[in-house]
Structure 1
Amino acid sequence: MAESRATALHAEHQQLGASFIAFAQNEQSAGWTMPVRYTSDIAEHSAVRTTAGLFDLSHMGELEVIGATAAQALDRSLVGQPSKIAPGRARYSMLCAEDGGIIDDLVVYRLADDHFLIVANASNTAVVHAELAARVADFAIEVRDATDCWALIAVQGPVSAEILTELTEADLPALKYYAITEAKLAGSNILLARTGYTGEDGFEIYCRPDEAARIWADLLRTGTPYGLKPAGLACRDTLRLEAGMPLYGNELSRELTPFEAGLGRVVAFSKEADFVGREALARRRDEGAQRVLVGLTSAGRRSPRSGYAVLDPATGRDIGTVTSGAPSPTLGHPIAMAYVDASYEEAGTRLQVDIRGTHDDVTVVPLPFYRRQES
């Protein structure tokens, strides 16, 4: 078994009484010892929806691609079009295989004309690094794993901007969603991005690991009067589920293409550059996916969970599989995402889920389950 890794904030989590997740039990942690909760999942989830939550995301992978032809190299490597990203902005993208299967989903930041920061899922960082390096070998650019150079802290929730305003002179109103800027926060040089994985407004702070503990403490001290609470991976999962955001290993995998996941929009067929997986993805686009990702809700008390079978109630036939499911703290009833045969994707369709031998009724609903109110 691989040795577990601790983030630069591990001691802070211990002092706060966090419960830690065993890395072998959860793909999100991928070899890192991460806080799963501090107090209760529901309290932390509620804080993010109503005030703000503070997350350590330092297990995520950061890759830097640097060089005069970095944009063209990434156009060839990814399904999106990084050359169209303006400096200081970001896009969601994917790295796909020749057969269209998703190797990982990514956030691509353009820090300068010749400098990109790519954020990969923790469990896929090494694979993404190796795959990118191979794909851009003909370009005179550098691809390096910079994960150990960064700590990543997120402040997510409706009052996150108010909290950060007390600690930085950065122009937060001018920092649009999916934008990034160099800034000073509590005296430290950081990268500040308006991104997140919760369905709320929020910011992600990239800082030096040796400055992470002080920044974390300053954020917690400043944010506590606003209702800020430290939050673990458990509530991050229910938050992203309510927001209909896919998780690699659940909704996304090497066996699926962006089209099954309802994310075909991220594939830039219009770009001039050829890219890995283009032909296979074009075929899937034209043929249509056989199974598609849908939302499910239940009026019952038991939640569909990952791996549970989805059934046609009239015939009992297995027509899909739950990928993620949990009680929704915000909505007050169970929710789930599932892949089902495309003929069952229409909203309002009644289905059943086999929950430990009992067939519980569920209804197909549009994603996301929750959408924040714009101010």
Structure 2
Amino acid sequence: MELKTPLYDAHVKAGGKIVPFGGYLLPVQYEAGVIKEHMAVRTQAGLFDVSHMGEVLCEGKDALANIQMILTNNFDNMVDGQARYSPMCNEHGGTVDDLIVYKHSDDHYFIVVNAANKDKDYQWMLNHQFGEVKFTDVSAQYAQLALQGPKAMDILRKLTAEENIPQKYYHAVFDTEVAGIPCIISKTGYTGEDGVELYLPSEYAEKMWDTLLENGKEEGLIPCGLGARDTLRMEAAMPLYGHEMDDDVSPLETGLGFAVKMKKDDFIGKKALEEHAELTRKRVGLEVIGRGIIREHQDVYADGKVIGHTTSGTKGPFIDKAVGMALLETDYTDVGTKLQVDVRGRMVDVEVVALPFYKRAK
């Protein structure tokens, strides 16, 4: 049975079209529709309920040593309040999940994992823990809201003091407040826009949701669902677990080498990644040059031969182009390479393009 986030009633009241996702019932869109929600985030501001994401605490004298072994990125040079993205690999170099680690203090880390993988990830951490460390699944205690878009920070500044807001991307302020509601303010997001993600006790979720929407009216803030979250992350070419990566796809194949530190002493999966250092396939961007829209799990062809498959695809509302990402044999990954995608029996012409499809002007 699907779970409900603390904002379920608020979504129903706001006309959200509820669908099952990652074990939860969540709004795929509201009355405005996916395209309007997408455009609001690109030009003004949008508010997302991402309370389905999981949160795990890692605490103890050996907390850092555990994180260093379980994750591929390097965490020994972080300052308190800093966040860092990392894949988590299995012994074969495949990806168990991708997640974000926040350093609260030397022996206290706050880890955010993907919704559908929460139980699997938590179990993986417990199975591989060592020394003096304690992993605790605190997901039920937290709601998470994402306030995203060029006007997001203007809205936030109405509700909290400047010193409560992180100055840098991938940094967070712990033990702070917005509109008097206790929360963590994190300068992160999954849309390609400026904005924050707020972690707060579940019981305050609806109050925070209503307060943000009320105070963001002037800036054009609207609630946004899963549909816009997906089209936004697609335009920004942000990989999604279960699409661009999974237990059989390595972070190197999906272009996440920046978060895999091979110079680290060791981590789970390092040996396998070293053995397969020469990639035979990698993630690319595809732009449709014929007619049609490409979707996930469609075969990609070069000269009548299957050379890979699409991992995600859509029509980007802001860029106004049909685009997709694909995992292809490396011989066919140069920008400008012309290929074809089998869209339900019809061959659609595509071209390999540079990622991301959209990048906001700084």
Contact 2:164 2:173 in 1 (8 A): no
Matched letter for residue 349 of structure 2: D
> Is the aligned partner of 1:165 residue 2:187?
no
Which of 125, 133, 137 is the aligned partner of 1:145? Answer: 137
Counterpart of 1:249 in structure 2 is 242
The 4+ residue runs of structure 1 with deviation greater than 6 A are none
Contact 2:144 2:199 in 1 (8 A): yes
Which of 277, 290, 294 is the aligned partner of 2:269? Answer: 277
Which of 4, 7, 10 is the aligned partner of 1:6? Answer: 4
Question: CA–CA distance in 1 between the matches of 2:271 and 2:304?
Answer: 37
Question: CA–CA distance in 1 between the matches of 2:276 and 2:36?
Answer: 42
Counterpart of 1:26 in structure 2 is none
Contact 1:153 1:204 in 2 (8 A): yes
Q: Post-superposition shift, 1:172?
A: 6.3
Question: CA–CA distance in 2 between the matches of 1:329 and 1:46?
Answer: 7
Aligned-partner SS, 1:251 = coil
Contact 1:293 1:340 in 2 (8 A): yes
Question: CA–CA distance in 1 between the matches of 2:89 and 2:361?
Answer: 34
> Is the aligned partner of 1:324 residue 2:322?
no
Matched letter for residue 44 of structure 1: E
> Which has the higher mean CA deviation after the structures are superposed, 146-155 or 105-114?
105-114
Q: Post-superposition shift, 1:300?
A: 3.6
CA deviation digits over 1:273-301, x for unaligned, max 9? Answer: x211111011222xx21111000001344
**Structure 1 gaps, min length 5:** 24-28
Contact 1:299 1:333 in 2 (8 A): no
State, as a whole percentage, how many aligned pairs show the same letter: 40
Which of 274, 280, 284 is the aligned partner of 1:290? Answer: 280
Which of 207, 218, 240 is the aligned partner of 1:225? Answer: 218
Aligned-partner SS, 1:83 = coil
Question: CA–CA distance in 2 between the matches of 1:356 and 1:297?
Answer: 18
Q: Post-superposition shift, 1:236?
A: 0.4
CA deviation digits over 1:80-131, x for unaligned, max 9? Answer: 1222221100111011011101000011111112111111111111111111
Root mean square deviation, CA, Å: 1.1
Contact 1:297 1:335 in 2 (8 A): yes
> Which has the higher mean CA deviation after the structures are superposed, 39-48 or 260-269?
260-269
Matching of residues 46-85 of structure 1 within 5 Å: 46-85=39-78
Q: Post-superposition shift, 1:170?
A: 3.8
Q: Post-superposition shift, 1:77?
A: 1.2
Aligned-partner SS, 1:107 = strand
Question: CA–CA distance in 2 between the matches of 1:171 and 1:365?
Answer: 41
Question: CA–CA distance in 1 between the matches of 2:136 and 2:166?
Answer: 31
Which of 327, 342, 361 is the aligned partner of 1:339? Answer: 327
TM-score, normalised on structure 2? 0.97
Q: Post-superposition shift, 1:271?
A: 2.2
Aligned-partner SS, 1:184 = strand
Matching of residues 193-232 of structure 1 within 5 Å: 193-232=186-225
Counterpart of 1:17 in structure 2 is 15
Counterpart of 2:260 in structure 1 is 267
Counterpart of 1:120 in structure 2 is 113
- Structure 1's 172 and 49: CA in aligned 2 closer, same or farther, altered over 3 A? farther
- Structure 1's 317 and 80: CA in aligned 2 closer, same or farther, altered over 3 A? same
**Structure 2 gaps, min length 5:** none
TM-score, normalised on structure 1? 0.94
Question: CA–CA distance in 2 between the matches of 1:220 and 1:280?
Answer: 48
Question: CA–CA distance in 2 between the matches of 1:93 and 1:333?
Answer: 30
Aligned residues: 360
CA deviation digits over 1:137-185, x for unaligned, max 9? Answer: x211110111001000010000100000000114367521000102211
Q: Post-superposition shift, 1:135?
A: 1.3
Matched letter for residue 295 of structure 1: G
Contact 2:160 2:177 in 1 (8 A): yes
Q: Post-superposition shift, 1:344?
A: 0.5
Q: Post-superposition shift, 1:266?
A: 1.1
Which of 94, 102, 109 is the aligned partner of 1:101? Answer: 94
Aligned-partner SS, 1:235 = helix
Counterpart of 2:300 in structure 1 is 310
Aligned-partner SS, 2:6 = coil
Matched letter for residue 48 of structure 1: V
